[in-house]
Every structure is written in structure tokens, then in C-alpha cells.
Amino acid sequence: MSGGSGERFAVVTGAARGIGAAVVDLLAGDGWRVVAVDVCADIEGAAYRLGTKEELHELAERWPRNTVLPVVADVRDRDALEDAVELARREFGGLHAAVAAAAVMAGGRPLWETSDTEWDALFEVGVRGVANLARASVPLLLDQPEPRTGRFVALASAAAHRGLWHLAGYSAAKHAVVGLVRGLAADLRGTGVTATAVSPGSTATAMLSASADLYDLADPAEFARHQLVDRLLDPQEVAAAVHWLCGPTSSAITGTVVHADGGFTA
């Protein structure tokens, strides 16, 4: 693997906007080169607009040429993520971190009224998508000279730690992400490669606006009352936790969750 000069390389999904885009910006600003992946299309089961090709390419254009490589790919398609990881290997020479930030919001009704289409969107994007990135990226994370410093980081949620009204499907999917990360960390025991999750609270993103719509709230800022900081989080605040977990100084953290939630779960 190249990168002996100090360069570091990552793949980030859900990168067109929100926390995913903030992660890409923080990594790129710290000298990383990043393959930024997003489906850039709306999907059945998510009743709001998802990220676009324009947003993904605008993200890449904020950085010097070949710093951020935009890739339109669906995390539900394992082959597409294998191709994204292969792009990192081919263009950068290897991989030091993989960040699974892609997810969708669906719900707003009791579990027994949740449609199969909504359930499938939550689990196919938010859980299978995480597993697909892990299966695609971990072999390359392990292909490092020892001592290895590979990092796999998944975005969970405060909903992974408590039940939220009319969001049973979303909560179940995020609980599954935490379980997946814990199991992956156990599989990676002794390798030097770690697996962690970051659980955000209510963060000012398009997904939170979609959540507000589900609850018929006039303003997403109403969610701030659930957090000890008494405000919504900025995506960059959550991304800061992900950025740290991607680096070598987070070596003691694996198989667990960092709660970047403004005190939501306190």
C-alpha cells in the first residue's frame, strides 16, 4: 500500500450532503484523498428528495483536482461498492478508512402501519449498505503493513439506543448498525483495524427535515428540546467525531459507539 509519505485514503458513502459531505470536507481538509459515494437519486420508500449528482460534484469541486473523487453508486449494490473501493486502490494505492454514512428516513406511523417498502428502504440502505461497505473495504484495510491503522466507521443514531415514537423501523435499523459494528470489531480482533459507530443526535440535515415532516412539525429546530445543548447539531460537529475515529490516535476505540448527540441520550 502506498501512503508512506503521510497521505491517507478513505471511502465515504452518503457523501452528497449532510453528515457524509461534512466528513468528506473534514478529511479532505486534513490532507486525505477521498472516494465520495452517493446514489444521487430518490428511492422508493423514502418520501423526500435525496442527494443529487450536482451536490456530489460540487463537493468534489471544492477541493484540488483528484482530492475527492465523486462516484455515483447505490450502497445496496455490493458490486458497486467493490468498484468504489477498487477505485481507491487503483487511484490512491490503498485504503485507510471506510465511512458508512448512507441512510434514509422513513416512518411517521406505528410499526404495524409501516409499509414493506419503507421497511425495506430502511434496512437495505441503512444496514445492508453498511455491511456491503464493510465486506468491500475491510480486505483492503487489512492489506496494510503492520502496525495497521485501518478504520471502519458507521453512522448509527440516537435512535440506536432508545425507541422513538413512530420510528420503530428506523430505530431497529440503527440498532442493527450498532450490532453489526460490534460483530465486525470482534472479527477484526488483533488486526489493528478497528470498527466503531457514531450516534448523532438531531442534526441540521435534510434527513432531519424529513423527520420533522413525518411528525408534522413546522420547524426541525423543535427537535432541539431533546438535547442538553438546547440546539440542533451542525453536521461538522458530528463529522469531527468521525474524522477523529478515522485517524491513528483513535486506536483504543473499537466495537463501541461514540455518542455525538448533544446529550440526546443522556
Q: What is the pLDDT of residue 2?
A: 44
Q: List pLDDT tens digits, range 193-210.
A: 999 999 999 998 988 898
With cut-offs at 50, 70 and 90, classify the pLDDT of residue 211: confident
The one catalytic residue in 92, 123, 170, 223 is: 170
Q: Give the mean pLDDT of 71-92.
A: 98
Q: Give the mean pLDDT of 154-173.
A: 95
The answer to whether 96 and 141 have CB atoms below 8 angstroms apart is yes
Average pLDDT across the chain, whole number: 95
Q: Where do the structural domains in the chain lie, given as residue ranges? A: 8-260
Q: What is the pLDDT of residue 107?
A: 86
Q: Give the mean pLDDT of 232-256.
A: 97
CATH number for the domain whose boundaries are 8-260: 3.40.50.720
Strands (DSSP E) found in the chain = 8-13, 32-38, 68-72, 97-100, 151-155, 194-200, 257-260
Q: Which amino acid, 65? A: R
**Under DSSP, is residue 248 helix (H, G, I), strand (E, B) or coil?**
helix
In the chain, the percentage of residues whose pLDDT exceeds 70 is 98
CA torsion through residues 61, 62, 66, 67, sign: negative
| Residue 48 annotated to the active site | no
- Nearest partner of 101 among 223, 224, 197, 170, judged by Cα: 197
- Nearest partner of 129 among 260, 266, 20, 244, judged by Cα: 20
Which strands form 8-13's sheet, in the order they lie side by side?
68-72, 32-38, 8-13, 97-100, 151-155, 194-200, 257-260
The answer to whether 255 and 195 have CB atoms below 8 angstroms apart is yes
Number of helices (H), then strands (E), belonging to the chain: the values are 8, 7
